[in-house]
């Protein structure tokens, strides 16, 4: 949770004109939900209509309070029009191709979305002086392989296609901050999980669905890969906190990167076993050991976000998983 008082947060976001890319995804839809709750005036860029997304659910009160623009993140003319015509003040650039396996199979489309999409947003914001805060979603993968835990001072050493795309997006953001004074900050986050994630390739939603259906959950790797898992509501709180800090103190936060994580890494097998325990399941795990081009161990230090944003995760892994499991039980019943 952030260190800002709820009233202060509400006052800042009320009627604020906000542009969010990637609003149909897990993080994007959660950020949009929190912005609407804080009474912001939100515009979402949507490439595809995704009826299963939280953003588009018929009973979801969010959709009636959000303007939707259809198009590609790489369409410079479209992005400039949206930012200009909607008088955008804050931009959350979250749209990306986020799956490592897809990036390995389709590197060019991943580079197009994650790299060109980022420079399109940055250049459009540079040309519109009304924008006073830009957040770009990078990733812990941007660090590549190096000493753990990753801190923000570490170099960006992406090797595999997805990792490289995030390193490039990250460096582009820093370049625009230093060269043009663009008020942009970067987030590098641990692995997300939470209510509404319908990407079944991810280990937590995939495992929960398997257990609900009585099927042995699968692990694509050998199960020893180490990751940090961050509940999506906590991540979204961190995004809103950083955007507000940046808008209110550009000199301090411009060009800065922030890790958002719990600091409690686990192996993939440990996470799957945790889900099985919480769901009272005795199913055996099917370890396929077929994953490739993935970093063996990654976790982050969030000390900088703790200190400068007064941000800390509000949910333990067990609390977050219990909420997530309950959501999937309702969704899949």
Catalytic residue positions, numbered:
162
CB within 8 Å of 26: residues ≥ 6 apart: 192, 194, 196, 197, 199, 232
Give the span between the Cα atoms of 278 and 179, in whole angstroms: 50
Q: How far apart are CA 133 and CA 1, in angstroms?
A: 20
Give CA–CA dist 166/34, Å, rounded.
Answer: 25
Residue that the structure tokens 């519109």 belong to: 128
Cα–Cα nearest to 22, from 55, 51, 52, 65: 55
Place of tokens 């947003």: 121
**CA dist., res. 230 & res. 96, Å (int):** 18
Helices marked H in the chain: 6-13, 26-37, 76-85, 100-105, 107-111, 117-126, 161-180, 203-213, 232-248, 250-253, 268-278, 303-308, 317-332
**183: helix, coil or strand?**
coil
DSSP of 127-156? T-TT--EEEEE--GGGG-S-SSSB-TTS--
Query: How distant is the alpha carbon of residue 150 from its chain centre?
Result: 18
């Amino acid at each position: 949770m952030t260190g800002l008082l709820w009233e202060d947060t509400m006052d800042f976001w009320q009627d604020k004109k906000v542009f969010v890319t990637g609003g149909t995804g897990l993080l994007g839809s959660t950020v949009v939900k929190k912005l609407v709750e804080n009474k912001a005036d939100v515009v979402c860029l949507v490439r595809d209509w995704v009826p299963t997304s939280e953003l588009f659910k018929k009973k979801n009160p969010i959709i009636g309070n959000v303007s939707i623009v259809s198009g590609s993140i790489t369409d410079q003319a479209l992005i400039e029009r949206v930012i200009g015509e909607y008088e955008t003040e804050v931009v959350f650039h979250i749209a990306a191709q986020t799956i490592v396996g897809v990036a390995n199979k389709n590197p060019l489309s991943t580079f197009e979305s994650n790299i060109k999409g980022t420079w399109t947003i940055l250049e459009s914001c540079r040309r519109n002086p009304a924008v006073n805060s830009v957040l770009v979603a990078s990733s812990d993968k941007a660090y590549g392989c190096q000493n753990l835990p990753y801190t923000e001072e570490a170099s960006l050493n992406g090797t595999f296609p997805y990792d490289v795309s995030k390193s490039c997006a990250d460096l582009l953001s820093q370049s625009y901050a230093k060269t043009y004074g663009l008020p942009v900050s970067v987030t590098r986050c641990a692995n997300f999980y939470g209510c509404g994630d319908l990407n079944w390739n991810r280990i937590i939603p995939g495992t929960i669905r398997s257990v609900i259906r009585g099927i042995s959950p699968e692990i694509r790797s050998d199960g020893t890969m180490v990751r940090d898992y961050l509940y999506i509501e906590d991540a979204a709180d961190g995004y809103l906190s950083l955007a507000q800090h940046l808008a209110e103190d550009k000199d301090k936060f411009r060009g800065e990167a922030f890790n958002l994580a719990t600091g409690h890494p686990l192996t993939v097998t440990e996470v799957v076993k945790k889900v099985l325990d919480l769901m009272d399941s005795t199913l055996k795990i099917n370890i396929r050991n077929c994953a490739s081009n993935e970093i063996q161990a990654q976790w982050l230090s969030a000390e900088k976000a703790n200190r400068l944003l007064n941000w800390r995760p509000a949910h333990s892994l067990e609390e977050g998983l219990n909420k997530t499991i309950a959501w999937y039980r309702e969704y899949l019943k």
